[in-house]
Amino acid sequence: MDNARKNIWYQKSIMIDCSIEDINKSLNNLGEHYEELMTVYPGMTTVELIEHDRDYVTIKTNEGLMKRTNISVTILKDKTLVEFDEEYITSKLTTNSHFVEIFKDKNNNTELNLEISNLTAPGFLGFFLRNFGSKNIGNGFLDSYRKILEKS
């Protein structure tokens, strides 16, 4: 991935009450995985999977069109690494960023480290997103992961 880790915009780790095997099972179908993740993301009222393959996902939401490309999933014994580029096109703003999600086995729980880097968001709205939006957006993804992976 060319965009990897050049300018970190958000980074945080949380513990999730599920096994690394649950994570890997969820990642077997990237379209379903990301559609479910976005369905529980704060502010989403409609989420529709448009198309997907092993290295890309396109999802239409009430806010716009999300394209996750160059998706790479690396599964190791006690760790799973997911990396991708995201373009999110709304009526007023287009953003581009790079995501790294590292899931680590921690005694039948999983530590998730989320890193969002290389955010570009032009214009007036982009200025506010770049300077004030990282916590809300990043924490929204972490909370969504908890919701979809900790279900019984």
Is 59 a member of any domain? yes
Does the residue 136 lie in any domain? yes
Whether the full predicted model's pTM is greater than 0.85, yes or no, is: yes
Tell me what pLDDT residue 8 has: 96
pLDDT at 6: 77
Whether 110 maps to a domain, the answer reads yes
Say which CATH number the domain at 33 has: 3.30.530.20
Task: List residues bridging with 95 in a β-sheet.
Answer: 88
Q: Which domain holds residue 134?
A: 8-147
Which pLDDT score, from 0 to 100, does residue 152 have? 45
Per residue in 67-117, pLDDT (tens digit) is 999 999 999 999 999 999 999 999 999 999 999 999 999 998 999 999 999
Domain count, the chain: 1
In a domain, 68, yes or no: yes
